[in-house]
Amino acid sequence: MRLIFMGTPEFALPTLRALVEAGHEIAVVYTQPPRPAGRGHKERLSPVHQYALSQNLPVHSPATLKGLAAQQAFREHRADAAVVAAYGLLLPQAILDGTRLGCINVHPSLLPRWRGAAPIQRAVMAGDTETGVVIMRMDAGLDTGDMLMVERFAILPGMTAGQLHDALADRAAPMVLLTLEGLRNGTIAPVRQSEIGVTYARKITKEECRIDWREPAAVIHNKILGLSPHPGAFFVYKGEAIKILDAEIYDKGKLFKDFSPGAVIDNYLTIVCGEGSLSPSLVQRPGKKPMPAREMLKGHPIPPGTILE
């Protein structure tokens, strides 16, 4: 099939790679414009942009698709369909209608649960034990389109959002190939989403990444896993924001009458929570690489009796 691909981050790469390897004709790749990154704030191409160039695929990176000229250029590719995976720009109705079969979107949740910007992180943060991938035909709503294919996926205990991200990205790629084949053959029947169980995965804010030690250890642990490796749940010690990327729960449900939430109670950085306690196993200081918590404590001790912010 002749396709337009629209995607930006690492999540989209397995799908684009699968389309190329399956022999589909990629008329053009749309991705977000280069962004400043790193300490030098040098503009960096998106992962999809870099891969497309390596495959000699034409790339467009418009800042918006709202203009008539951009919409006309999209239609002129005369594609059978557009495959969309974490593109990051709003698609106007003229774009949604700009191919023969419409825009086919990869969404990493079991819709209608976790519509929106951060479905993987929100699922882990909420303590969900199951999620999945939905391939849907896009409409003008926020992830409200008819579903074309659904696969369920278990969220294993201790799984981080980063690990789940990679697993769902790999799962999505063959699903897209099967969906396109079904659309071409007329063997896929779209299914409308239920209006029961709708939840929204709002964008992660910096403020909510800060750990509130008054919450139960289980809630904090889900937040840590859901924000790992990026952007990372953090606490503040001596003015430094230290991320916790993994941790273990102790004394689940126990109330510590003699300690305030946030109190460090041993030399291994066990921290009292609103219920139970939590011990970081993997941490990251600003500008440093992730490291085991015990390694950090050798050069950056946080003594018992400390009350973490």
| DSSP per-residue codes, 269-308 | --EE-SBSEEEEEEEE-TTS--EEHHHHHHHS---TT-B-
Q: What is the pLDDT of residues 239-249, one digit of tens each?
A: 999 999 999 99
**Would you state the structure tokens that stand for residue 307, as one six-digit string?**
């009350």
Residue 67: the pLDDT is 95
Question: CATH 3.10.25.10 region(s) of the chain?
Answer: 206-299
Amino acid at 294: R
The pTM (predicted TM-score) of the whole model is 0.95
Distances in Å between the alpha carbon of 244 and those of 56, 197, 220, 234?
40, 31, 10, 6
The helix-helix angle for 47-54 and 13-21 (nearest 10°) equals 20
Mean pLDDT (whole number) for 111-117: 97
Residue 38: the pLDDT is 66
Residue 9 pLDDT class (50, 70, 90 cuts): very high
Mean pLDDT (whole number) for 73-82: 98
**Would you state the structure tokens that stand for residue 12, as one six-digit string?**
């989209």
CATH, range 206-299: 3.10.25.10
Query: CA dihedral defined by 50, 122, 222, 217, rounded to 10 degrees?
Result: 140
Residue 35 pLDDT class (50, 70, 90 cuts): confident
Task: Please say whether the structural domain 2-200 has been given the CATH code 3.40.50.170.
Answer: yes
Mean pLDDT (whole number) for 95-104: 98
Residue 40: the pLDDT is 66
The residues, any chain, with a CB within 8 Å of residue 266's CB and separated by 6 or more, are 304
Residue 39 pLDDT class (50, 70, 90 cuts): low
More confident residue, 162 or 252: 162
Size of the chain in residues: 309
The helix-helix angle for 13-21 and 161-185 (nearest 10°) equals 40
What average pLDDT is seen over the chain?
96
Question: CATH 3.40.50.170 region(s) of the chain?
Answer: 2-200
Give alpha helix (H) positions in the chain: 13-21, 47-54, 68-75, 93-96, 119-125, 161-185, 206-209, 217-226, 293-299
- Taking alpha carbons only, the member of 148, 145, 86, 94 closest to residue 117 is 86
Mean pLDDT (whole number) for 29-48: 87
Residue 98: the pLDDT is 98
Q: What is the pLDDT of residues 132-165, one digit of tens each?
A: 999 999 999 999 999 999 999 999 999 999 999 9
Residue 279 pLDDT class (50, 70, 90 cuts): very high
Return phi, psi of residue 276, to 5°.
75, -175
